[in-house]
Amino acid sequence: MTAGSGLVAYQFLYPRQPANVFGGRFYLGTTANLPPFGSEPQHHVDGRFWLVGLEEGPRAFFNLCTHTFGTRWIKLWWDSSNARFDCPMCGSRFSLEGHYITGPAPRSLDQFVIEIVTGREVVAKTKYVENAILSPSIPAPDAEIVVDTGTMIEGLPSMSSPILNGYRG
């Protein structure tokens, strides 16, 4: 088998999801379209994620509770009066930053990777580093934001939540 036929076989066996379909990449326009810092998250139904604008950068949280993930598809609600995500089934609660607050959930919210693109180059993206998930930095307001719903970072264990250690942000 030649390298060319191997590539064709790979692309056939592992096709890419189309753009703006769950499991693929969502092109959201410029970073100016992000929710402002401190505002309510934007719900993207087709992508199954909540887009949040935080001081350190954007985050895209998977729309499912980490307690029931895999057994039931229970969607998270945004409780605007308490500024938190709530699971209507198990009662788990999560902060705007996705940190575990309370309930039977084993971890904080899962996140999709966000890429910040300038030109055709990815200049920043969500990373997992030493027990922390870091938001991508935004270099310019005209940079493009892409949420990759095919790449998920599992939330940190609930016992490592900064909220349990006195953080209230």
The pLDDT of residue 7 is 45
Structural domains of the chain in order of their starting residue, each with its CATH number: 25-160 (2.102.10.10)
pLDDT of residue 69: 61
pLDDT for 20: 77
Q: What is the pLDDT, as a whole number, of residue 40?
A: 95
The pLDDT assigned to 38 comes to 83
Per-residue confidence (pLDDT) for residue 13, from 0 to 100 = 53
Reported as a single tens digit per residue, the pLDDT across 52-103 is 999 999 999 999 999 866 556 778 999 999 999 999 989 999 999 999 999 9
Given pLDDT bands bounded at 50, 70 and 90, which one contains residue 144? very high
Per residue, the 3-state secondary structure of the chain, as one string, reads CCHHHHHHHHHHHCCCCCCCCCCCEEEEEEHHHCCCCCCCCEEECCCCEEEEEECCEEEEEECECCCCCCCCCCECEEECCCCEEECCCCCCEEECCCCEEECCCCECCCEEEEEEEECCEEEEECEEECCEEECCCCCCCCCEEEEEEEEEECCCEHHHCCCCCCCCC
pLDDT of residue 108: 96
Indicate if the pLDDT at residue 130 is higher than 90: no
Confidence tier at 162 by pLDDT (50, 70, 90): confident
**Which pLDDT score, from 0 to 100, does residue 1 have?**
52
Which two three-digit tokens encode residue 98?
A: 């996705």
Provide the percentage of residues in the chain whose pLDDT is more than 90: 65
Per-residue pLDDT of 104-126, as tens digits, reads 999 999 999 999 999 899 999 99
